[in-house]
Structure 1
């Protein structure tokens, strides 16, 4: 599965001056998965930047639901170039419509003041059941829509089972890593972590309410979609080793839910941070955002 993601879903090809095309999209969702679009956009932006500068942040707005049957085109604008930073604006387009607007920053290595929050205690990932094992324990043979989809990310939930119908406190801890060893390519590791950072962010918000995740996915009486996504890579990452993702939803209202997250490596270093707002609202047939 990981090879499929790297070779197909994250691959882009040149399509003109600072333009790129991604021919194939995920075939397991009814829309283009946002994390995939972000990872492809990062690859497009990085192709226009000095390779010595790693990415340090990504910010995007999801403007339309992408059609997974239509190729995506990425238009890169070289916004700024300084001795320390390179900034790129990327437009993901389908049929001349902007689907996602992304801004990426790349930063040369430097030194400065250091501090971070401590990593919370969590059992080792090897002692926990896999996501698929937990889903089967909850639902048996009647898995919700998309529950049986193989993801390229191994996920081990710590304090809450995936898609648990019980109302929770809105704080999720889970371990994440790529489901196979990866080559020594720092950009690839960053792209895959960005890809994974969008997988479970909505769960912390929906867990605060009596929402059945399978109804949200299927659009039965409730509609949900990511509105925006921000990601900060604080230091180089190896995504084929375990990272603890700590997610918290601090607010919901006005048809939107807000969640933040932090990724710690097994040594307790804060590797990356993420924030996302989702659109989530009760609907009638034919309505949307």
Structure 2
């Protein structure tokens, strides 16, 4: 695998043009197993360091700007029927990239992620490697902050700021989990899609996550009740390694699956509606307590508003014992093309 070392550029986006000879082809073993495929996608490879020299413009002086050292990683994408990168994948890879640079700082100890704020800027190409340039904004006594840019073809496709905190004691309260049927009483995706043969359906059935919607999935059939609320059970279909950073990354990955569905449900829409033009615009997560995503979690979702071609989704993710693991917010473009 090629590396880029101490490369001087005037723009952050150009970092991804350095040493594009990295091979990110998945192994046959990974492609045959959705969980191994996901773990392979999240196993980012170091691609050296880059140094960005900002241009001085206007009233800025040399004292106002400074050269920034970036850690660069490279990773591949999961294969998708439409050739566009799944946004949750890039979120998860950004968590891994930022977390690795925190772990690499001597003396910090273990600092789990506690918040993530990201903007989806451009669609990604699932056939091309993604580069992740990580900037160390601060390592304080309790908090570490990283800025991550995911890039392809000389452009940023996602920009995220992540914060990590040394575990600490303090005030403690949480919302209560909804009372819903247990996951074994909710239909699986295979049961929801039985008898349907389509590339998108085959893709849905090859997920690394078991996703079960209490109110009924919105793949092809709209819900009977046009409510802006729903509850989704999720877990990885196999046990994952005992790495808190990895579990946080897979939580970020799976949090992007269905959060906009509360908007679709409210308006009687489904993912299979050819008029629908959805796209994630931004994504925020707050990690409150440790949790595992290879055990069942309940994802409570609601949409307080949709307007202007956009919709807002809010979510809370609980472990099966009722512990609130994290809170999620996402705004998406939800346009319906008129016939």
| TM-score in terms of structure 1 length | 0.91
Q: How does 1:60-79 map to 2 (within 5 A)?
A: 60-79=118-137
Pick from 163, 174, 180: which aligns with 1:122?
Answer: 180
Contact 1:165 1:213 in 2 (8 A): no
Query: Following TM superposition, by how much is the alpha carbon of 1:277 offset from its aligned partner in structure 2, in angstroms?
Result: 0.5
Matches within 5 A, 1:60-209: 60-136=118-194, 140-141=195-196, 146-149=200-203, 150-163=206-219, 164-166=221-223, 168-209=226-267
**Equivalent of residue 54 in structure 1, options 109, 112, 116:** 112
Q: Structure 1 221/174 Cα, relative in aligned 2: closer, same or farther at 3 Å?
A: closer
**Counterparts in 2 of 1:38 and 1:254: CA distance versus 1, 3 Å:** same
Q: Residue deviations 1:31-74, cap 9 Å, x none?
A: 11011001111111111103500111111000001111221111
Counterpart Cα distance in 2 of 1:241 and 1:222? 33
- How big is the shift at 1:128? 2.0
Shift of 1:282: 2.9
Q: Distance in 2 between matches of 1:24 and 1:33?
A: 8
Aligned residue pairs, count: 276
Cα shift at 1:142: 5.0
Task: Tell me which of the two structures has the higher relative contact order, counting C-alpha pairs closer than 8 angstroms and 6 or more residues apart.
Answer: 1
The answer to whether 1:36 aligns with 2:89 is: yes
More displaced stretch, 275-284 vs 94-103: 275-284
CA distance in 1, matches of 2:255, 2:84: 17
Deviation for aligned residue 1:29: 4.0
Residue of structure 2 aligned with 1:14, choices 32, 46, 49 = 46
CA–CA separation in structure 2 for the residues paired with 1:99 and 1:129 = 35
- Distance across 2 between alignment mates of 1:151 and 1:142: 16
Instruction: Flag structure 1 segments of 5+ consecutive residues without an equivalent.
Output: none
TM-score (norm 2): 0.78
**In the TM superposition, what is the alpha-carbon distance from 1:197 to its structure 2 partner?**
0.4
Deviation at 1:284, TM superposition (A): 7.2
SS at match of 2:193: helix
SS for the counterpart of 2:175 is coil
User: Deviation per CA, 1:76-128, whole angstroms, max 9, x where unpaired?
Assistant: 11011111110000001111101100111101000111111111101111222
In 1: Cα distance, 2:187 partner to 2:267 partner: 25
Check the 8 A contact 1:243/1:266 in 2, yes or no. yes
Helix, strand or coil: the match of 1:103? strand
**Corresponding position of 2:98:** 45
